[in-house]
A and B are shown apart, each in its own frame.
Chain A
Amino acid sequence: MRHLILALLPCAANAETLTVMTYDSFVSEWGPGPAIEAAFEAECGCDLRFIAPGDGAALLARLKLEGARTEADVVLGLDTNLMAEAKRTGLFAPHGQTPALDLPVAWADDTFLPFDWGWFAFVHRTDLTPPTSFEELAASDLRVVIQDPRSSTPGLGLVMWVKAAYGERAAGIWDGLSDNILTVTPGWSEAYGLFTEGEADMVLSYSTSPAYHLIAERDATKAAAIFTEGHYLQVEVAAKLANASPLADRFMEFMLTPAFQAAIPETNWMYPAAGPDPFGDLPKPGKTLTFTPDEAASLRANAIAEWQAALSR
């Protein structure tokens, strides 16, 4: 009986347990979670516990629901588009590190540490000649599947991408693209599923997506189209909470060591934030587009409205 009561109580942060809140595909059997858990537990002699309340977008919502009562010590898996809003909650503490990072942009944030990154890109089958820019795509009769920016991080990434590349002209670009958009899905997996089924010529994903097919499936028929405008960068970050256990600092340090970073490429299919390029053969964009977290936060609502207006016609 006592066990039952204990099991039902929010467990008082046991010094031996570190709780990391992250997105569900991170902890799944095929994500980096299991390998990272084993490696960190061996190193710290503690218990690493993941809670995974949904996809990346759900993390912030969950954190806001829980507020300061959250049992999480570390939140892992927010991206640059959501950082400013996450910081405004006041729940996070500075990481206090000066890490050596391999990112295409400089990193100076004192609260959030990157653990992996990638460029958004349209993935296509190699039997078609891909467009080399949004304008070329708009002029073609190719059909693409994208995700809804209101429910998916890649969807939001695309809207920010067009905004970063075209600024004031973004609305016009969306007008041109609207007849190329086959449909809009709620999340990444539905869109990617439609693409692999052959419904669409291209799908919004990452420039590293073809690596999955190459490495895991020995399938060289998928490639990412490189656009001359440059590609929008997604950086996935982690931060520790203000009242976290001391183990949180150890975890944040561990995050940028090879034991963690080596697990990333072939589970998350992203570039590790610290370490050698695992996908040397993949084509890379000539230019990286990005917004600061504050810019991203202030542009977001307007960019989504432009997207929505153009596609609702």
Chain B
Amino acid sequence: MAGRIVALIVAGLVFGPLALVALRAEGWGLDWPALRFTVTQAALSALASVLLAIPVARALARRRFPGRGALIALLGAPFLLPVIVAVLGLLAIFGRTGLLNRTLGTDLSIYGLHGVVLAHVFFNMPLAVRLILQGWQGIPAERFRLAQSLGFAPRDIARHLERPMLREVLPGALTVIFVICLASFAVALTLGGGPAATTVELAIYQALRFEFDLGRAASLSALQFAICAAAVLLASRVALPSGFGAGLDRQVAFGPAGWRRVADASTLLAATLFVALPLLMVAQRGLPGVASLPMGVWAAAGRSLVVALASTALTVAAALALALARRRWAELAATLPLAASSLVLGTGLFLAIHPFAAPERLALPVTMLVNAVLALPFAYRILAPAAARIEADYGRLADSLAMQGWARLRWLILPRLAQPLGFAAGVSAALSMGDLGVIALFAGQGGATLPLMVQQLMGAYRMEQAGAAALLLVVLSFGLFWSFDAWGRRAAT
């Protein structure tokens, strides 16, 4: 019931603004080259992110070493970075005068399709690792013990335990990342090297901002939805339940020795460097300016924190309701916002609000709501498989004990979902911190959030202070993420 209501609200929030924009349209227009580039880069990015994530997730799942928890937390970071900050971090490594080219004495160019894919992999590979790692942790330790007792070689473990799990987890991860990259805008444009790298989202931006062609914006946005919906339907068709039973909560490491230990270590080292080096560059750029940050930046940081916490509460509640509904429509409702152009969302909400109230008075509530909707797909992806597993493992027992409604939520679902809940809340909070969303359309004087402040500083030539404010943003986002995630993992043990 709650799931149905949430699904309706989400669909209303996603399609309502689109409809309002379309109603004001005077014509239609599509952009085929943009569509082709958008789909190509999104597909390549999703494939590369997920393929690279599998060995990393496996190494993390089967090895125990000091700093493992910190590494898993670190993997949350890139996804939470404001795009332009991350791009500058990546350029410091892979750019024309970056670390790589300077060390190797080469002149490799990052600009072009491969650069777009590289940046998307930086953002999304760690997310894929976290999603796949959850799948690995969902295989009961008893199964691995059984496999060991049967003398399974790593190949047999892969065949009987890991591949069925991957078949369940990968389509979802691929879909999420594909759809995230569909709506990519700044990465594709900044690293794409030119107008050949025009994405649909950029075409929407152009239509709204410069040409004021609402019809073109609405039809491009509808097209984006169509691709997203197709991807989701395809993924849920491929996804097969892996049929693992429940196990008692014991965790063991099961790493095979020999060359595989070396391979795992190198994989983890490479992944750590790939993620950490650009982050270090962001820190190095930002630190010198921190002391001279103006008061306004701290006030904006406070506003961003409030917005992030409020929208996290909304997101997690909505994602939980949808995850517990365990239906195709719930999955569709939870995934649609991924393809929602935040520009169209913002413009539509603006059209809805403007006749009744001054938009800048509602800037923060609207930002909160939009951030909550935009973060929903991630929270849902994290919660849904875990919720399904709980039902499969303990649904009958709970039914037989008449645990329904609140009792089931309080004593079965929340405690067993604690870890994914913490992760989902962390991701939602950090996304909300970092997302520019619609604030720019609604912002008045003095109501800026931290990401908007970063942009304003950059727009005022203050690159050093912008770097410092960006670092503050990263630290706060990461702090929120880490707090929620750590809470979840503590509550789960």
Residues of A within 8 A of B (CB): 7-11, 24-25, 27-31, 33, 49-55, 57-58, 60-62, 64-66, 69, 71, 143, 148, 150-151, 156, 178, 181-190, 192-194, 196-200, 209, 212-213, 216, 267, 269, 307-308, 311-313
Residues of A contacting B195 in the complex (Cβ-Cβ under 8 angstroms): 148, 184, 307-308, 311-312
Contact yes or no, A28 B441, CB < 8 A: no
Complex Cα distance, B302 from A59, in Å, reads: 28
Number of interface residues of B (CB under 8 A): 59
Q: In residues 81-119 of chain B, which contact A (Cβ within 8 Å)?
A: 84, 87-88, 91-92, 95-97, 111
Contact yes or no, A52 B445, CB < 8 A: yes
The residue of chain B having its C-beta at the shortest distance from the C-beta of A33 within the complex is: B445
B443 close to chain A: CB less than 8 A: yes
Complex Cα distance, B185 from A311, in Å, reads: 18
- A57/B88 contact (C-beta < 8 A), A183-B191, A269-B461 known: no
Complex Cα distance, B186 from A108, in Å, reads: 39
Residues of A contacting B458 in the complex (Cβ-Cβ under 8 angstroms): 189-190, 192-193
Contact yes or no, B111 A25, CB < 8 A: no
Contact yes or no, B354 A65, CB < 8 A: yes
| B interface SS class | helix
Complex Cα distance, B93 from A196, in Å, reads: 15
Select B456's contact among A7, A24, A151, A313, beta carbons within 8 Å.
A24
Stretch at the interface among B120-128, B207-215, B306-314, B395-403: B207-215
Residues of B contacting A27 in the complex (Cβ-Cβ under 8 angstroms): 445
Select B443's contact among A8, A53, A184, beta carbons within 8 Å.
A53
Select A151's contact among B95, B210, B455, beta carbons within 8 Å.
B210
Select B189's contact among A55, A184, A193, A199, beta carbons within 8 Å.
A184
> Which of B91, B193, B194 counts the most A-chain CB atoms under 10 A from its CB?
B194
Query: Interface readout for B189-223 with A: 1 if CB under 8 Å, 0 if not?
Result: 11111111000001001101110100000000000
Contact yes or no, A10 B356, CB < 8 A: yes
- A193/B356 contact (C-beta < 8 A), A27-B445, A183-B193, A269-B461 known: no
Select B111's contact among A33, A182, A212, beta carbons within 8 Å.
A182
Complex Cα distance, B91 from A182, in Å, reads: 13
Residues of A contacting B445 in the complex (Cβ-Cβ under 8 angstroms): 27, 33, 49-52
The residue of chain B having its C-beta at the shortest distance from the C-beta of A194 within the complex is: B91
Select A65's contact among B191, B350, B358, beta carbons within 8 Å.
B350
Residues of B contacting A9 in the complex (Cβ-Cβ under 8 angstroms): 356-357
B150 close to chain A: CB less than 8 A: no
Contact yes or no, B361 A8, CB < 8 A: yes
Residues of A contacting B453 in the complex (Cβ-Cβ under 8 angstroms): 28
Contact yes or no, A197 B92, CB < 8 A: yes
- Can you list 26 A-B contacts (CB < 8 A)? A9-B357, A10-B357, A10-B358, A11-B358, A27-B445, A53-B442, A54-B209, A58-B440, A62-B441, A150-B206, A150-B210, A151-B206, A156-B210, A178-B194, A182-B96, A183-B193, A184-B194, A186-B185, A186-B189, A189-B459, A192-B463, A193-B84, A194-B190, A209-B461, A267-B460, A269-B461
Contact yes or no, B459 A28, CB < 8 A: yes
Residues of B contacting A186 in the complex (Cβ-Cβ under 8 angstroms): 185-186, 189-190, 202, 205
Complex Cα distance, B7 from A28, in Å, reads: 38
Residues of B contacting A31 in the complex (Cβ-Cβ under 8 angstroms): 456, 460
